[in-house]
Amino acid sequence: MKILNWLAQTKIWQSIFRTKLPISTNLDKSLVIFNSLTLHIHPVKVRLRAIKFSYTFYLGMISFFLFVLLIVTGILLMLYYQPAIPHAYNNMKDLEFVVSNGSYLRNMHRWSAHLMVITVFLHMLRVFYKGAYKPPREFNWIIGIVLLIITLLLSYTGYLLPYDQLSYWAVTVGTNIVQYIPIAGEKIRFLLLGGNEIGEYTLVRFYVLHCVILPLFMVLLIALHFWRIRKDGGLS
């Protein structure tokens, strides 16, 4: 503890962390929030009622944490993945048998993704039944709906990437629905698959969607979502 205290007094520490230890007064506590890039999304004070578990079940928070986990594991998985046939599948085998903690990473990514779909949906239900979408939060509700859709799309595009039987046919079924869209259905399907059937290009397209385009939108919309919550008066 002494060493830690001494460390906290050094110039280097203080140049990195603005917060001075020990944190005792309310001002110190406020400064923790102010001085942090990540934390200052929070107000300095919050309603006690709103931070109780029974109030929100922390569903939004859990969804966000799952998203963070997905990004971390996803980036690590990208290091071992080639969007090509049949390498994509062999990479899964490598993850399982050769890469250190490979199956742990893949399992985490997979189950987080499934769980996130559930928590985001439950989050929506919670907001609905609590009436938390009411003015002035109408638009934030819509952002939430879009986030739900993007979550589904992220999960769906990721589904193809192992390129096993499960992914191939799940994606076939899904993309077959797309072609029922009147007039443009076939064209949209062609655009998605990069051809008339699932193949190398589909894999690349889904890979880019899954790893670049959709996460980008997701991050932007999550930021907007959080910012709006803060501006509309915190959790409700």
Partner 1 sequence: MTKKEEFEIEISSDSKAAIQRLAIVPKKTPVKYEQEKPEENLVMTFPNLIIREIICFQIVVIVLSIISLFFNAPLEELANPQNTPNPAKAPWYFLGLQELLHTFPPVVAGVLMPLLVVIALIIIPYFDINIKRAGLWNKNPEKTLLVFSSVVFVFLIIMFLFDAFSILVPTLLIYILAVSPYLIKKRNAFINNIASLSLAGWIMTWFVSVTVILIIIGTYFRGPGWSWVWPW
Partner 2 sequence: MNLNRLKILYAVISIIFLLALAVSPLKNYFKAWRNIQNNFNETVEKLPQKVKPVSIGLKQIWVADLDRIDRCTTCHLGIDNSKLESAPQPFKPHSKIYHDIEKFGCTICHEGQGLATEYDAVHLPTEFWDRPLLPKKYIQSSCGKCHINEKLNSTHLLNFGKELIADLNCTGCHNIPGIEKNFVPLLDGIGSKVIDRNWLVNWLKDPAKIQPDTKMPDFLLTDSEVETLADFLMSFKSFRNGITLDALPDVYYKNKDEEDFIMLGQTRFREARCISCHAIEGKGGKLAPDLFKTASKIKDTWIYNYVKNPKKLQPEVEMPQYGFSDEEAAAITAYIESEFVDWDDEEETGSVHTPLADFYEKGLALFNKYNCGGCHQLSAKGINQNAGPDLSEIGSKKIYQIDWGKTNVTHTVYDYIETKVRSPREFGGNTRMPKYNLTERKVEAITTYLLSLKEEKLPVNFIHPADKKTESSLQGKVGKIFDRYACLKCHSLNDSGGSIAPDLTIVSSQLNTDWLRAYFKIPFTIRPIVEERMPNLFISNEEIEILLNYFNTVLLDDNLSTPINWAVDKKSEERGASLFYERYGCQSCHIIEGKGGYVGPPLDEAGSRLKPGWIYNWLMNPQKFKPETIEPRTEMPEQDALDITAFIMSLKKTDK
Q: Which of residues 89-148 bind partner 2 (CB under 8 A)?
A: 90, 93-94, 96-98, 100-101, 104
Looking at residues 100 to 119 of the shown chain, list those that interact with partner 1 (rule: CB under 8 A): 103-104, 106-112, 114-115, 117
Nearest CA-CA partner of 230 in 35, 41, 55: 41
Give me the least distance between CB of 12 and partner 1, in Å please.
Answer: 23
Cβ-based nearer residue to partner 1, 4 or 177: 177
d(CA 156, CA 219): 18
| Site for partner 1 contains 149 (CB under 8 A) | yes
The least distance separating partner 2 from the CB of residue 207, rounded to whole angstroms, comes to: 21
Q: In this structure, what DSSP letter does residue 10 have?
A: S
Residue 186 sits in the site that holds partner 1 (CB under 8 A)? no
Residue 184, interface with partner 1 (CB under 8 A)?
no
Q: Which of 8, 21, 69, 229 binds partner 1 (CB under 8 A)?
A: 69
Stretch binding partner 1 (CB under 8 A), from 6-14, 86-94, 210-218, 221-229? 86-94
Tokens of residue 29, six digits: 């506590």
* Binding window for partner 1 (CB under 8 A); candidates: 1-9, 127-135, 209-217, 218-226: 127-135
**In the range 7-46, which residues lie near partner 1 by CB under 8 A?**
23, 26, 29-30, 32-33, 39, 42-46
Tokens representing residue 92 in the block? 């899964």
Nearest CA to 227 out of 43, 31, 33 is that of 43
- Distance separating alpha carbons of residues 119 and 125, to the nearest angstrom: 10
**Cis amide leading into 22 (omega within 30):** yes
Report yes or no: 58 and 64 within 8 Å, Cβ to Cβ.
no
The item of partner 1, partner 2, none sharing an interface with residue 62, based on CB under 5 to 8 Å by kind, is partner 1
Q: CA neighbours within 13 Å on the CB side: how many for 6?
A: 3
8 Å CB contact between 148 and 124: yes
Orientation angle between helical segments 59-78 and 214-231, nearest 10 degrees: 150
- Interaction between residue 81 and partner 1 (CB under 8 A): no
Q: Does 74 bind partner 1 (CB under 8 A)?
A: no
Q: Which residues bind partner 2 (CB under 8 A)?
A: 90, 93-94, 96-98, 100-101, 104, 164-165
